[in-house]
Amino acid sequence: MATEKTAAANEAVEEKKPAAKKTASTTAKKTAAKPAAEKKAPAKKSASATDAPKKTTAKKAQAAPAEAAEVKAEAPAKKAPAKKKVAAGVKVRLVKSLAGRLDAQIATCRSLGLRKIGDVTVQPDNAATRGKIAKISHMVEVTEA
């Protein structure tokens, strides 16, 4: 009975040790193999790059009729593009001078296309434009376009 226990213990130890050795050695092999594989990959790509245009042109020539047939098949199925709705515009006119104003206010006027007193621009009526107008509302006059 004692011999059976020691034999079983020895087998268990032998099974564990090689497994530990395998993981350590395979990890080392994997890390060593990765740099070698990375070094070889660019060499293969550069060699295949010279051959690639010859092969791809033949494939493109064969694929072109198939693609043309697919395009012809899809063309009748496509609908005409929907007409875009014209967004209502806002006419903005600069009434007060930019002299002595904060840089942010001057930048906002420039982004709306206003440079001098009396300049008028038509901007889209959206949240961004309304926010810009709110920042310089004391300097501009707004009307619907």
pLDDT at residue 88, as a whole number: 83
pLDDT at residue 135, as a whole number: 97
pLDDT at residue 143, as a whole number: 95
pLDDT at residue 91, as a whole number: 97
Q: In what order do the strands lie in the sheet with 140-144?
A: 120-124, 89-94, 140-144
Tokens (6 digits) for 136: 């310089």
Walking along the chain (145 residues) 10 residues at a time, the average pLDDT comes out as: 67 60 55 56 55 55 58 62 72 96 97 96 96 97 93
